[in-house]
Amino acid sequence: MQGGKKQIGVSLNLIRIVLMLVIIMGLSGINCCAGSIVTSNKVILKNQEVIKNIADDKFLIGIFWPPVWEQTNDKQYSTIKEAHVDYIQNVQGNLLDTKERNLKMLLLAKKFGLKMIVADSRVNGSESEIKAMVQDYGKYNATIGYNIADEPGIDGLSAVSNTCKRILNQDNKRILFVNLLPEWAVPNYESDYVARWIEKAGKGNIKYLSFDNYPFFKNGTFRDSYFKNLNIIRQAGLRNGIRTASYLQSIGIADVYRRPNAVEMEYSAFVNLAYGIKNVIWFTYWTPTNRGEVFTNSIIDPSGNRTDLYEPFKKINGEIQQLGKRLIKLDAVEVYHSGSKLPDGVEQIPDTFLWQPDNKSDELIISHLKGVKSDEEYIMVVNKSIIQTNKFFFHIRKPVLRILEVSKVTGKNIRTNFDLKTRLMSEEFLPGEGKLYQLEK
């Protein structure tokens, strides 16, 4: 979702302007984010520049599986907007993927200040069909993108990348949404799948590197390799200058996944924020019926009623919205875990790291975030316990002089109890809670 000779005497500034315009217009293979060096967990970025796209300055919150056709109305779209949702992702094969129904959804989205990723079977059609599809939806400001493919296999990556490039010839401003499989579904996931997808599509054409992986199992356990998957996507995004997207579990599937509770939903959201995700999509919003799989009730039940998950969903989205104002401008350059037993694919906090838990056995995720275009630095801390409120003590190394927490309610900075003399700070975390701190040096 992914020149002419220079005349002597043309100023260097003019050349730079021309090159930047070429990049933004998508007429060049040059990527607007330069390469990177990966050293273990840490990714050192070089010559970073913000990726220019339709959601450039906005952390996006989306929903997958919108209201069914019979419930595509003002009441349901008002309910979506009330919950701090930014966009609706339409789904192919759910009886909403026709021109008539997409257009009605777009009009309702516009009415309630929402955006939409349309789904239309013509996306895989002929050149004339693709052109007609783009003409049908491209004139609507509510159209944020096109749903291209969900979970393509390795053998399908070439066809999907070709589809993307054909659509880019008609519309290079929208998101071409391709969602990748989870790491447990593909051998040699990082090299043979994620890297291959980026190579085939062209990193300058991919607006979001997206994947899904649902961690809450029916037997009450949590998928340990979830963190490994997040880290692979995080590092691939940083190496290639691509923002990352992830689906958050809000539903159960018979005999496989349990229906998450409010704390588990919040926990998975903060985990994703700590790993630098810039676009979260809830799977699912509406409860699907008459499918091959049997789903539990999600945020909205099959009759269009709010379930007990709606208010937590609304609260979590509000918190993401506030923190997202900062996070959209930051990259998660280091992500560490602490605790007595580390999951697969994660790294222990090194002794030299500037933010140290006083008790090494504390179950925490600690993420180091840096500004994409500034020298700002932040730390995000997540309590990995989803059943216990914990008070944690931290030792903060020099040269940090001041620590401010970013309020999840207002988005403004609030004071902490960091003591400059002792270099100690303590904070209480609710189960699954994450907090974002700005560092001043």
pLDDT, the chain, mean: 90
Whose tokens are 């923002």? That residue is 243
Residues present in the chain in total: 441
pLDDT of residue 35: 35
3-state secondary structure of 217: strand
Nearest to 313, CA basis, from 282, 336, 344: 282
Q: What does the pLDDT look like over 388-427, one tens digit per residue?
A: 999 999 999 999 999 999 999 999 999 999 999 999 999 9
What pTM, to 2 d.p., does this model score?
Answer: 0.88
- Give the full edge-to-edge strand order of the sheet including 424-429: 355-357, 390-396, 424-429
Nearest to 239, CA basis, from 284, 206, 268, 264: 206
Whose tokens are 């689906």? That residue is 247
Is residue 265 pLDDT above 60, yes or no?
A: yes
Is residue 259 pLDDT above 60, yes or no?
A: yes
Nearest to 366, CA basis, from 344, 392, 399: 392
Assess contact for 405 and 414: CB atoms under 8 A: yes
210-228 burial string, b = 16+ CB within 10 Å, else e? bbbbbbbeeeeeebebbbb
| Angle between helices 310-327 and 262-274 in degrees, nearest 10 | 10
Query: How far is the C-alpha of 148 from the C-alpha of 160, rounded, in Å?
Result: 7
pLDDT of residue 50: 34
228 vs 45, 309, 387, CA distance in Å?
Answer: 21, 27, 23
Backbone angles phi, psi at 287, to 5 degrees: -85, 115
Question: Where would I find the H helices in 295-424?
Answer: 310-327
Strands 243-249 and 279-283: parallel
Please give the average per-residue pLDDT across 155-178, as a whole number. Answer: 96
Is residue 167 pLDDT above 90, yes or no?
A: yes
pLDDT of residue 42: 58
Q: What does the pLDDT look like over 1-51, one tens digit per residue?
A: 433 333 333 343 444 444 444 444 443 333 333 333 344 565 544 433 333
Token readout for 410 is 């207002």
Q: What does the pLDDT look like over 346-368, one tens digit per residue?
A: 999 999 999 999 999 999 999 99
